[in-house]
Structure 1
């Protein structure tokens, strides 16, 4: 199993992303995200080392005064040579600083390479499998312009299946 520290969105962004997940599932492109039973999110750190759960819980507790974060979501993009379609997530310096703060305090070598500072791409996954070209076109038609939203919760979860372990509301 793996662990992830993620930001969870406000109700408006949550609803809009879920609508895209539902559309992709209804069109037979991908139902993975909808099937997770977990809200739309941007993962800050992912680790395959269950032994760092206590470290991640401590890091989160130390961030109890963190503020809600304004984000700009969009455009729709994809990772090359994969089926993964995603929304760009731009939180400016605040998001990058939070990511670096967490990554710098995680045990050395515990974080997956794509989540290391300098390698991490802040994003909201829309599609994991299926026809990438079709999924990206459908998602782009539903999310044609960037939208402003807020990250309102920081959460630690274990997956698969997804089980929330700890969280803090962002003030």
Structure 2
């Protein structure tokens, strides 16, 4: 989650993250749930100006973003859209605490994460995102006090949500700036087999 890492060391460069951006329909549903939680009580930190997503990796300072864009552009050519189903609500305790949605941990999702991590040659990956440590999640709220009320509000709007991962993106933060986006094709589409490059640096 970008929220957990959005305060870099004073004077240091901003960090980079690789994210799996969700499709527009699922994103709108998650945004509505976030708004519902934020209306439940005060004490929330502002959400980053970025669409709902699953963070695949957070990279330590000093990473060469141009080399990373090239690596991701090559890797994304072999990836098609991955279905995502929301299984439950969770909390990362602490100060602040994080309320999140947890996707069903499927083999395609784990394979995507492993493929992204293994393609990274050079960058130092934050330990939370290493293979075997990664907990896939979609952050709903960051709260400075006990998160029980926020979780209760989220449960009121909790229904089964399904969608797919629409793109792999490289972002710099904070604040969030999209450096490159690689849309993923539908596996059923004939375009998927003929794709030669879909990345767009931003």
Assess same fold via TM > 0.5. yes
Pick one of 65, 70, 86 that aligns with 1:58. 70
In 2, Cα distance between the equivalents of 1:138 and 1:97?
A: 33
Point out the more displaced range, 147-156 or 38-47. Answer: 147-156
Closer/same/farther in 2, CA of residues 16 and 31 from structure 1, 3 Å limit: farther
TM-score, scaled to structure 1: 0.89
Task: Give me the CA root mean square deviation.
Answer: 1.8
Shift in Å at residue 31 of structure 1?
4.4
Which structure has more relative contact order (CA 8 Å, sep 6+)? It is 1
CA contact 1:59–1:102 (8 Å) conserved in 2: no
TM-score, scaled to structure 2: 0.76
In 1, Cα distance between the equivalents of 2:122 and 2:86?
A: 30
Of Structure 1 and Structure 2, the greater helix share is in 1
5+ residue gaps, structure 2, are: 1-13, 186-202
CA contact 1:72–1:89 (8 Å) conserved in 2: yes
In 2, Cα distance between the equivalents of 1:140 and 1:154?
A: 29
Q: Which runs of 4+ in 1 moved over 3 A?
A: none
> Per the alignment, in what secondary structure is the counterpart of residue 119 of structure 1?
coil
Q: How many residues align?
A: 168
> Which structure's CA Rg is the greater one?
2
Shift in Å at residue 10 of structure 1?
1.3
- The corresponding residue for 1:12 is 25
- The corresponding residue for 2:58 is 46
